[in-house]
Amino acid sequence: MPDKLQISNKFFSSRLLIGTAGYPNQQIMLDSISASGAEIVTVSIRRISLDAYAESMIDLIGDKYHLLPNTAGCATVNDAVLTAKLARESLQTNWIKLELIGDRDTLYPDSSQLIIAAEELIKDGFIVLPYCTDDPIVCQKLQDVGCAAVMPLGSPIGSGMGICNPYNIEMICKRSNVPVVLDAGVGTASDATQAMELGCDAVLLNSAVSKSINPIGMAKAMRDAVSAGRLASLSGRIPKRKYAEPSSPRLGLIGS
């Protein structure tokens, strides 16, 4: 049985989810997404420019990937819920990456409002994937109201600081009955590997690829990093010891 990622009733071969923002140009974005092997690709929902034409994301990538709209930037339950409903109409999907930020500087989620918005959307038939803090209790509550996954941050969005609290991420993974997707903070490939080794089911990232010097190369690195971390997690790391443990046999040592 192939090792597939299951979220709600859908199965995915790739455990890397990737964003579409911040690439040097459109072609590099397309090539990077392709190189990453990701099947789930995030987009935002924004007011259309009434002054200038912009190419549609649906025409660009809609037929190749599972588009996951987000509510990025929303700071109230009403705005997040309306954005999710507009996204459903726009993309004909009931999947939503729910973001409800509490502060523009940190972009940290407003946990209490996030849970309220998640519950409202789930009641309306949405498959909700919330971007949340690395707080096991918040993750539990999001799970309890019916979220299809939880997506705790490793560190603030776009910070590239990696996983600031690996103990919390590991605890969230151990306690969760729904997939855990590390969302935000990944800076380089080892961060993605660490997330998977800690037990995450997938990694969602954007800036680490789009803002790198070579996005296509970094996208490949992230693809391999996530695969390596997953395999290591399934295979089981050796316990850490305080003293050395020789790997070569002691018996038959010359001079003994």
Residues at the contact surface with another protein, assessed by CB under 8 A: 19-23, 29, 42-48, 50, 53-54, 56-59, 62, 67, 69-70, 72, 78, 82-83, 85-91, 157, 206-207
Cα separation of 90 and 107, whole Å? 25
Measured from the CB atom, is 74 or 143 closer to another protein?
A: 74
Q: How far is the CB of 89 from another protein (least distance, A)?
A: 4
Measured from the CB atom, is 143 or 206 closer to another protein?
A: 206
Show the beta-strand stretches assigned E in 52-104.
66-69, 95-98
Cα separation of 203 and 222, whole Å? 9
| Residue bearing tokens 């803090």 | 133
What is the distance of C-alpha 60 from the center of its chain?
22
Q: How far is the CB of 57 from another protein (least distance, A)?
A: 4
> Which strand (E) or helix (H) includes residue 7?
strand 5-7
Cα separation of 37 and 18, whole Å? 9
The active-site residue out of 10, 97, 141, 211 is 97
Measured from the CB atom, is 86 or 171 closer to another protein?
A: 86
Measured from the CB atom, is 133 or 143 closer to another protein?
A: 133
220 is catalytic: no
Q: How far is the CB of 7 from another protein (least distance, A)?
A: 18
> Which strand (E) or helix (H) includes residue 122?
helix 111-123
Q: How far is the CB of 17 from another protein (least distance, A)?
A: 10
DSSP notation for 154-176 = SSSTT-----S-HHHHHHHHHH-
Instruction: Tell me which residues are annotated as active site.
Output: 97
